[in-house]
Chain A
Amino acid sequence: MSALLEVEDLEAGYGAVTVLRGVSLQVGDGQVVGVLGPNGAGKTTMLRALSGVVRPRGHVRFAGDDVAGKRPEAIARLGIAQVPEGRGTFTGLTVRENLQVGALSRRDGDVAADIDRCFERFPVLGEREDQAAGSLSGGEQQMLAVARALMLRPKLLLLDEPSLGLAPKITAQLFSDLSTVARDEGTTVLLVEQNASLALKFADYAYVLEAGQIALSGTASELADDDQMRRSYLGV
């Protein structure tokens, strides 16, 4: 089975500074894959490269198509949605409008129905439907950001540090909701997280990125048992 996302020798950086130095990974259809690692390892840069915000060198194949070098709008329209670091909420728009923006590039007529389903799934957002998104709490904004990305009906969902700045209980709820949604919709997930133990609970497979390169990889249970992992990232 060929993977939904195939990344080969990905290199990317900013100006003269190279952050990713040859990253290769695969994400299978329907999987939840985690990318772990310390600060500054290049995790965010990788997601930005995948979404086309940063121009990469190397190969990125999505559902068989070469997407490296495409513009972000084009990549999004192919079915890759990203929940960026810091959420990227449109603070001046209402919750409903944020969701509508997420669906702006769609041509079908089911957007309104999708929004209703979203409010069913995330009742908190439904309650705040007409409020300015900027007035939501951190956890609610994160939920909104995920919902917004899902409005694209993506095949692949990229998440950049969703737990950042959130209390543990809220984070756990968020991840649980995320898993449910991903399973229901059949969405493939690539999750970048600093919180390794949390990520490994939800991921099927994971990679560890250090200093711009893959240092470790394996199934979630393999990594959870790995000594090096436990010492460096799991605090055990």
Chain B
Amino acid sequence: MKRVVPYAVLAAVLVAVPFFFSSYRVGQFTLVGAYAVAVLGLNLLVGYSGQISLGHGASFALGAYVSAILITDAGFPAFATVPVAAVVGFGAGFLLGLPALRLRGLYLAILTLGLAVATPQLIKRFDGLTGGTQGLNVDQPTAPAWTGLADDQFLYLATLAFSVVMFVLAARLVRGRVGRALIAIRDNETAARAQGVDPARYKTLAFATGSLYAGVGGALYVFSIGFVAPESFTLVVSFSFLAAVVVGGLATIGGAVFGALFIEFVPVYAGDVDEALAGVIYGAVLIAFMYALPGGVMGALRKLRGKANQFGRGRGHAQQTDGGGAGGIADAGGEPGGGVRAG
């Protein structure tokens, strides 16, 4: 019962946002929602499943273009494209996940890096479908009259709704059998196999699911921006998603939100400080995070909560609620309150 109250408060705050902020701000928050979904997908892949992908932007672009093309060429209603983007994303991720099985860590990173680099080129290549360098203008969803909402407010709430669904699904996935299997595989593949868990199946599933989330995020992105072009999906996007995962906190669900906030707002504020220095500040902040907060924002929060708990108990062990952990891949999903073996 105690857990419901914070979530209820959170929900109320989130729903109230579009009524208290400017239209521009609301638009930014809507974008954060789209990014958060994509980042969550990447966290499933990288954090829980331990496979480094630098090509998440490709799936994101795929979802965005699928949605854009269906809306402009096939006259789909906007929200109907979300499930399609999800399915296409899932399929693409599955295809990518198969060769990925044979690659470890850095090699997977390199291959997916290549994919990220190739994405804008591929988009341009198929310009018949994608509109090439010109890009595609997409009609954004508008608020139906009966809601009495402004367009930006409606879009925000719709994105919020989609995001919440995706987050809840992810949380269930991670706390259930699949999540435990992924963590087991990530931590010790041989041991997992010995316990009857098939790494191939789950790792491919992780790729497919991560990609599904990216696809959905891409579709939400299109609603938000109303325009897609190859230049929107460069290497920077993939880098950003990965940065968001780590900044938010590996193997956490909530971290995706913090990560999305990071990649949306830090460049903006950095740009406010000095236009030319924006990237410098962004890079510096990212590096600083790696030193100071390798467990991301969620990791830091957990540590704080752990310290707060120390007043009430003998040992200050932060509770691990999502099967995630503070302090990077190695810690997540570890034994809770494990005893110390006397030397």
Do chains A and B directly touch (beta carbons under 8 Å) in the complex?
yes
Chain A interface (Cβ within 8 Å of chain B)?
13, 16-21, 42, 211-212
Closest residue of A by beta carbon distance from B338: A16
Contacts of B75 in A (CB 8 A): none
Contacts of B102 in A (CB 8 A): none
Contacts of A18 in B (CB 8 A): 343
Contact-residue bracket for chain B: under 10
Specify which of A17, A20, A211 is in contact with B341 (CB 8 Å cutoff).
Answer: A17
**B310-343 contact mask (Cβ, 8 Å, vs A): 1 or 0:** 0000000000000000000000000000001101
Return 8 A-B CB contacts under 8 Å, by A number: A16-B340, A17-B341, A17-B343, A18-B343, A20-B343, A21-B343, A42-B343, A212-B343
A187 and B331 CA atoms in complex are apart in Å by: 45
A143 and B25 CA atoms in complex are apart in Å by: 72
CB within 8 Å of A: which of B242-269?
Answer: none
A20–chain B nearest beta-carbon distance, Å: 8
Closest residue of B by beta carbon distance from A17: B343
Contacts of B343 in A (CB 8 A): 13, 17-21, 42, 211-212
A17 and B343 CA atoms in complex are apart in Å by: 6
A210–chain B nearest beta-carbon distance, Å: 11
CB within 8 Å of A: which of B131-158?
Answer: none
A214 and B341 CA atoms in complex are apart in Å by: 20
A212 and B341 CA atoms in complex are apart in Å by: 14
B314–chain A nearest beta-carbon distance, Å: 15
Contacts of A16 in B (CB 8 A): 340
List of 6 A-B pairs having minimum Cβ-Cβ separation, nearest first:
A19-B343, A16-B340, A18-B343, A212-B343, A17-B343, A13-B343
Closest residue of A by beta carbon distance from B341: A17
A123 and B340 CA atoms in complex are apart in Å by: 49
B236–chain A nearest beta-carbon distance, Å: 39
A17 and B341 CA atoms in complex are apart in Å by: 7
Contacts of B341 in A (CB 8 A): 17
Contacts of A42 in B (CB 8 A): 343
Contacts of B340 in A (CB 8 A): 16-17
A77 and B216 CA atoms in complex are apart in Å by: 60
Contacts of A211 in B (CB 8 A): 343
Contacts of A13 in B (CB 8 A): 343
A213–chain B nearest beta-carbon distance, Å: 10
**B91-132 contact mask (Cβ, 8 Å, vs A): 1 or 0:** 000000000000000000000000000000000000000000
A31 and B286 CA atoms in complex are apart in Å by: 55
A42 and B341 CA atoms in complex are apart in Å by: 14
A117–chain B nearest beta-carbon distance, Å: 42
Contacts of A21 in B (CB 8 A): 343
Contacts of A212 in B (CB 8 A): 343
A53–chain B nearest beta-carbon distance, Å: 17
A19–chain B nearest beta-carbon distance, Å: 5
Contacts of A19 in B (CB 8 A): 343
A211 and B343 CA atoms in complex are apart in Å by: 7
A226 and B340 CA atoms in complex are apart in Å by: 35
Contacts of A20 in B (CB 8 A): 343
